[in-house]
Structure 1
Amino acid sequence: MGMIDIGEVAERSGVPPSTLRYYEEVGLIRSIGRHGLRRQFDADVLLKLSLIELGKTAGFSLGEIAGMFGKDGRPNIPRDRLHAKADDLQRQMLDLRMLRDALRHVAECPAPAHLECPTFRKLLKAATRRRVTRPASDTRGRGGSQRGE
């Protein structure tokens, strides 16, 4: 495979050079040399960047994503973590559908006051029940932001 410089990697991947440098700093990607001051990468870096973006989109932290690559830089993704993340996304989709339905009902409800509406009360009760029964390990907060995300 040929080498491509950081500018071309940025252009082809849509990932800014500053983020590429950060990814290299934290060990997600590795340059294979320099041409002058410009980092050079193996063309395989584009596939790795796609995997990183997929992981970020799925809600994995950069640290979690880094742990999904072996010492040789090749993907070593634990399937059980993917199943757990898919389950979490399923719960989020259910929560979002419930929220969407509640918002639509509130927007269209003919009741003079929302708290007088039996459907609205049911929606509130269902939302509260979901929040109370959600597993303690289910942390929706993403914590502090990480550079490059």
Structure 2
Amino acid sequence: MKALDIAEVATRTGVPASALRFYEEKGLIASIGRRGLKRLFMPDVVERLSLIALGRLAGFSLEEIAGMFATDGRLRIKREQLAAKADDLDSTIRRLSAMRDGLRHAAKCSAPSHLECPTFRRLVNAAGQLSRTQSRKTVGKSKGLRKKR
């Protein structure tokens, strides 16, 4: 097998060299040496980068993706983890579908203003509640970080 330099990997995968260096730093991929100043990779890095891209598209963090590879480099994904992510995606799809439907209704609504449209008001209220919930979570996390220091 012919080793690929970082430029070849970037060209084949569309992943910028800077991201490849970052992935290597995070332990997601490994170079096998250098040719001059360029890192070298085994050809199977292309498939691994496709797996990483799939994980990112599904919403997994890089840390979660790294945990899906065993120390020998083989893929070790827990089925429960996939099912949980699928459930998260279902929830996101329902939320976004409701938002889309509400926005379409508001665009066609005959109310004199959007704020007089009950459907639009429900969207505004739901967004406000979600924002407050996320703010509390963020504040709680930041307080937790301050306590640990």
- Specify if TM > 0.5: yes
Q: 1:24 to 1:117 in 2, by over 3 A?
A: closer
Determine whether 1:68 maps to 2:68: yes
C-alpha RMSD over aligned residues: 2.4
Counterpart of 2:49 in structure 1 is 49
Q: Do the aligned partners of 2:102 and 2:119 also contact (CA within 8 Å) in 1?
A: no
TM-score under structure 2 length normalisation: 0.78
Stretches of structure 2 lacking an aligned partner (at least 5 in a row): 131-136, 138-149
Counterpart of 1:97 in structure 2 is 97
Q: Which amino acid aligns with 2:76?
A: N
Determine whether 1:111 maps to 2:105: no
Q: By percentage of residues, which structure has more helix?
A: 2
Q: 1:78 to 1:126 in 2, by over 3 A?
A: farther
How far residue 114 of structure 1 moved from its aligned partner, in angstroms, is 3.6
Counterpart of 1:142 in structure 2 is none
The SS at the match of 2:39 is strand
Counterpart of 2:13 in structure 1 is 13
What percentage of residue pairs aligned between the two structures are identical? 60
How far residue 125 of structure 1 moved from its aligned partner, in angstroms, is 9.4
Q: 1:21 to 1:125 in 2, by over 3 A?
A: closer
Counterpart of 1:84 in structure 2 is 84
Q: 1:120 to 1:34 in 2, by over 3 A?
A: closer
How far residue 117 of structure 1 moved from its aligned partner, in angstroms, is 3.7
Q: 1:7 to 1:119 in 2, by over 3 A?
A: closer
Q: 2:16 & 2:80 partners in 1: Cα distance?
A: 32
Q: 1:124 & 1:30 partners in 2: Cα distance?
A: 47
The SS at the match of 1:39 is strand
- After superposing on structure 2, the runs of 4+ consecutive aligned residues of structure 1 that deviate more than 3 Å are 113-121, 123-128
Q: 1:125 & 1:36 partners in 2: Cα distance?
A: 58
Q: Do the aligned partners of 2:103 and 2:120 also contact (CA within 8 Å) in 1?
A: no
